[in-house]
Homo-oligomer: A and B are copies of this chain.
Amino acid sequence: MPLKQRAVNDEQRLERRQVLLEAAWQLFQDNSYEKINIADVAHVAGLAKGTVYLYFPTKEALFLAVQAEQLVGWFDELEQELSGLGGVGDASRVASIICATLSRRPALTRLFAILHTVLEQNIDYPTALAFKKLLLERILRLGTTLEASLPFLQPGQGAQTALWIYTFLLGLQQLTNPAPLVREVIAHEPGMGVFAFDFCHECQAAVTTFLIGLENRKNENGL
């Protein structure tokens, strides 16, 4: 007995798809990817297990879609705030914005890490292509925005910079989200303070440094 009204037109289908994405994202806040199973997602979404597969061919595809959605959300916010700088941004301010927007999405970097480790391992060509196209488009757009915000960036350097920052964030999330036991080790054992990263603080410092590096290379021959 189907409890839910059928989604007969595209709008309803998109709406249902959205419900699933949000269910998955919600579960991901508090659980590791492996701990989340499709039954949970379906339950949170108020749908049946089989229904999930009407919208996403695999678990990986589902979370890749979550990834895409969150990525767009982050990039949108990021660009909006960067635009607010009005072309007079400096390294520190840009770094601040990146940290602030990411701090509001603590699970996003964790999702990034899974992207390359798990999600991309089990999808089909069109899905991979679509995702990469999206990512490419946004990276390029972000690059343009960065170039507009940071006067010292030369044309074309923005996208590269965006990718590097993205790369650094990918690593940073892993170091700043240790397993509970490791967190305990760091907290209790003397000398382990070096590992007691704070994401926001590190992000701020490292991205600033990085941008300063870029600025000071601007007169050298390109990377």
Contacts and interface: CB of A to CB of B under 8 A. Distances in A.
Contacts of A115: 174
A165 to B, nearest CB: 10
A192 interface: yes
A116 B177 contact: yes
A175 B185 contact: no
Main secondary structure of the interface of A (DSSP, over half): helix
Contacts of A136: 191-192, 194-195
Contact of A209 (B163, B191, B194, B213): B213
A161 B120 CA distance: 31
A206 interface: yes
Interface in A157-185: 159, 163-164, 166-172, 174-175, 177-179, 181-182, 184-185
A73 to B, nearest CB: 21
A68 to B, nearest CB: 14
A209 B161 CA distance: 10
Interface residues of A, number: 58
Interface string A125-142: 100110011011001100
B212 A216 contact: yes
Nearest to A211: B213
Interface of A: 32, 113-117, 120-121, 123-125, 128-129, 132-133, 135-136, 139-140, 159, 163-164, 166-172, 174-175, 177-179, 181-182, 184-186, 189, 191-192, 194-195, 202, 205-206, 208-217, 223
